[in-house]
Chains A and B, each alone.
Chain A
Amino acid sequence: MSQPRLPLTVISGYLGAGKTTLINRLLSEPHGQQLMVLVNDFGAINIDADLLVSAEKDTLLLSNGCVCCTIGGDLFMAVADALDRTPRPEHLIIEASGVAEPSKIANVALAEPDLRYAGIVTLADALNYRALAHDPLVGEQVKGQVRAADIVLLSKGSDQALLLELAVLANAPAMALSDDISVSELLLELNPDKAPDIAAHTHPAYTSWSAQEPREFSRARLLEKLESRPSGLYRLKGRLLGPDGGLELHVVGAQISVSACEQPSIGKLVGIGPKQSLSQDAIAQWWA
């Protein structure tokens, strides 16, 4: 394969759930990655004028290397166009429409060899979610988006009971999306090589964990280990020593991918999840 696989994250949620706000934050945080964001329309995309290089009818170009495009008539052809773009972006983010089934979109990342699954993020609005979930017209579709989520982000306030309800429905971690947290750290690619050696950093909203791992893992043993991972772990990434070359692993929500790679000099792992669903102890104990 000539180019690395393009990670694809789907941002889902009903109208008003805060998808655009999240995208605005992803585009403007200093994460250093060249994102390509596909949105339904530019209506609420709000880029700081200092960051905007050019704005055409269907493309916004940012000085940090990010690009934001409207999806146009065919989402999947827009994804194909993203793959053919030179240089290829480092991460593809899709804003699903307010009634889209996000798994039908994210599934393309499992099907297409040039893409890599990087998660379904479903937003729920703390003020309106309960009413929407019981709405006779759209309730099932709204709940379906939560069920498909690898992580649920609650916008417009925090509500512990609702977070619990969402986490149970999604069978995935749920957390409140406060204004002061870095969303790129949670949602974009983790870099095991840049991560601190071990559990050295603390964060107000997330538990992030990293480890150096000298042990050797067979594929089967690694898969078995991953089966028992803590439920609050949203993403885990790393390279481990294997008996016949290295093993590269990507875990996002329920999706596990283990593939062969060059034998690393030492194994490294990095993982992240919402603080309220995942503790340092839980992850450290699991991996130990």
Chain B
Amino acid sequence: MNSFDSSNGEEMSIDSAAQTNSLASVASAHTAARQPGNAPMGSGLEARGIHAWFGKHHALENVSLDFASGTVTALIGPSGCGKSTFIRTLNRMHEFIPSAAMAGEVLLDGKDIYSKGTDVTKIRLQIGMVFQKPNPFPSMTIGENVLSGLKLAQLKMSNKEDLMQECLERAGLWNEVKDRLGAHAGGLSGGQQQRLCIARALAVKPKVLLMDEPCSALDPGSTLRIEDTIGQLAQTMTIIIVTHNMQQAARVSDYTAFFLSEGGPGNMIEVGPTNEMFSRPRDQRTENYVSGRFG
């Protein structure tokens, strides 16, 4: 009787703790759900001493981060702190901007993707990307969009139909589009278009998937579906996601890195397991940010 009471009281206290710091509890529940014992696939990515410039403007300063294979890492921080710039250095999209420059190394399975003689198209094939704004190819049908990566990278694939279905299923879109694969992608809703872009990124079988605020233009329902998708994809690949939504970071990620620019170039302030970052961050600025005191 007594013990029952006390256990009840304990439950109460856990409940109230969860309420005061619900983000941390969501995060820990999520991490507990995914067994670290499941040997993950995908490849590890390691950023060492990354700097980035746009012309004279120093946008990112000395960021070093390890992304273990099969994990989801969320990059959070206020606008203009260099998260997107950082993620774009990871698959060499940064160099599209004419005035851009960078320093540092990005190691994919131990090899620097910026070393001389590296074929940049092969790098991007292994490190896929989903953008902030859904950008399906307007001149192609839904089916063609999914398989466009194969065409673009000139890959040979025997049973394209199966691959198309697999990718659409993994992106959580198959049931909605299976009867209209020949329709133009422009007719899909924003959320569907974004899942189509995820399916398109999956078709070339990347080892790492970069997502730059993939849900920022979407409604809550589509956001949830994409978060589900991320959870499933993490079993086979390494995922790095930029997000402004801290609940989302807490829901989907294993690790969280906090970026901040204090007037000067953006810095990575702190990185750690997501539940720790949200419950007991080491840095006061992280604490302020995750508790919503600024940003």
A and B form one complex: no
